Amino acid sequence: TKLDTSALADLPSDVTRPGYDRAALTPGILHIGIGNFHRAHQAVYLQRLFETGRDHDWALVGAGVRPGDTAMRDRLAAQDWLYTVVELDPEGLSAQVVGSMIDFCEVAPLKLVDRLSDPAIRIVSLTITEGGYFVDADTGGFDAKHPDMQADAATPDDPKSVFGILGLALRRRFEAGTPPFTVMSCDNLPGNGHAAQQATVGLARLHDGAFADRIGTQVAFPNGMVDCITPATSDRERAMVADKFGITDAAPVVCEPFRQWVLEDNFPQGRPALEEVGVEFVADVVPYELMKLRILNGGHAAIAYPSALLGLTYAHDAMADPDVAAWLDALERREIMPTLAPIPGVDYEAYLAKIQERFGNPEVGDTITRLCLDGWNRQPKFVLPTLEDALKADRPIQGLALEVALWARYCAGEDEAGNPIEIADDRAEVLHPAGQKARSDPQAFLALGEVFGPLARNSRFTEAFAMQLGRLWSDGVRATLQAYCKG
């Protein structure tokens, strides 16, 4: 059955479908970046809430600013914005059709600004990736020199970036006397709400200080921690949805059955009652974000690069490899978890055990290639802050230095069997020569200032990095991981 509204009644009985009246939903949230994660996570929480009969004035409107978003919009338009989410439980797969999105704004910045001027839109949420926030590696502040920011500052009435678009929309709302929307980041970065605020205010300040102050004082940017491993969709997933559930869906999503969402309750224009469907509201999200970014995302980074170098395909292959699994466990316990302050009611040991189980789920089929993506933006968010804290506290860093060295070794562009590795990163043209040069001159890699910032001048780190990278080249990945675990 080709998925659309008219097909809902005919779907196989084992497929769950919206049990509420979609035609009666009205928009409340505009989401920028309709990739897989948003559709598996926030949109599913909203569907659960709508099922309870509540808050039907908080439906989602999709939006995007990149060419790829037009393709997603076209696929979803042909399906009345419906799509399938398959949860990959090793005990058995389950499928639901999600209907919490009711429209998708045309992918054009000024159309998006118009849509954002609608008072019904009270929340703008974002998944625009870790690299989408214009954070300066050296200072952690706003990267005002970035060409995209300079361009939007020069033409604030014709913005191209997400933050330029949000700025112009906020200006329109202020002028019209409409209360500002709340900006809710759902990306994986430390203090994601703070980063969104810094970028929105920082860009506004480049052309209008008073306007920037007004955003800073009147717009809320709650921090949030989001979690649900959501791999990319390929032909394999589309075929599975057709074969197993009888649905022809051009844009299905698969994800693990685990979901977590911890949010700061800072929504002056109101919010859906997400606490009814499992979202945790806490006063301070930062410790939860650090737990997740360091243990889970830092853990993904730890297994990604050695696995690529060893020629492994999936995350569950990595967890089935005794050397990689032991390395992850040792690194987490010795160096990552000790950097985290305790959270009342949260057991880090249990959290790690759950993550090891989740990484090992063979149904998820998360690829090592996906985990290797975008190291340029991910290492500074997932790995380097842990390293900085460990250095400050004078704690061990050999494993964290090895984690960075594995990335550098991967960037040399060849696995241990001599097969070429295609470096999946927007900055591959810089990373590849740096990774090659680092074989004889480790400092050449740390000289990537936008990534390493002041860490490149910390001798404890540079020495440990050089030692671990040297060992990777001379003894190989396995022996180096084993040496660390023994040590």
Q: Which residues bind ligand NAD (CB under 6 A)?
A: 33-38, 64-66, 68-69, 127-130, 132, 162, 187-188, 226-230
Q: How far is the CB of 232 from ligand NAD (least distance, A)?
A: 6
| Interatomic CA distance for residues 251 and 261, integer angstroms | 24
Nearer to ligand NAD, 128 or 285 (CB): 128
Q: How far is the CB of 219 from ligand NAD (least distance, A)?
A: 19
Exposed/middle/buried for 70, CB within 10 Å: 0-12, 13-18, 19+?
Answer: middle
Residue labelled with tokens 């070429």: 420
Q: How far is the CB of 366 from ligand NAD (least distance, A)?
A: 8
Nearer to ligand NAD, 226 or 324 (CB): 226
| Interatomic CA distance for residues 46 and 52, integer angstroms | 10
H/E/C letters for each residue in 207-276?
CCHHHHHHHHHHCCCCCEEEECCCCCCCHHHHHHHHHHHCCECCCCEEECCCCEEEEECCCCCCCCCHHH
- What are the backbone angles phi and psi of residue 96, rounded to the nearest 5°? -135, 145
Instruction: Give kind and range of the element (H or E) at residue 379.
Output: helix 375-382
Contact 159, 152 (CB under 8 A): yes
Shortest-Cβ-distance residue relative to ligand NAD = 35
Of 99, 130, 118, 110, residue with least CA distance to 30: 118
Nearer to ligand NAD, 130 or 425 (CB): 130
| Interatomic CA distance for residues 484 and 468, integer angstroms | 9
Q: How far is the CB of 267 from ligand NAD (least distance, A)?
A: 20
Residue labelled with tokens 């001599």: 418
Nearer to ligand NAD, 371 or 469 (CB): 371
Nearer to ligand NAD, 3 or 371 (CB): 371
Nearer to ligand NAD, 43 or 401 (CB): 43
Nearer to ligand NAD, 36 or 468 (CB): 36
| Interatomic CA distance for residues 225 and 319, integer angstroms | 25
Q: How far is the CB of 239 from ligand NAD (least distance, A)?
A: 19
* Residues forming beta bridges with residue 226, ordered by sequence position: 261
Q: How far is the CB of 69 from ligand NAD (least distance, A)?
A: 5
Apex 126 CA angle, 275 and 384, nearest 5: 100
Q: How far is the CB of 317 from ligand NAD (least distance, A)?
A: 18
Nearer to ligand NAD, 33 or 442 (CB): 33
Q: How far is the CB of 227 from ligand NAD (least distance, A)?
A: 6
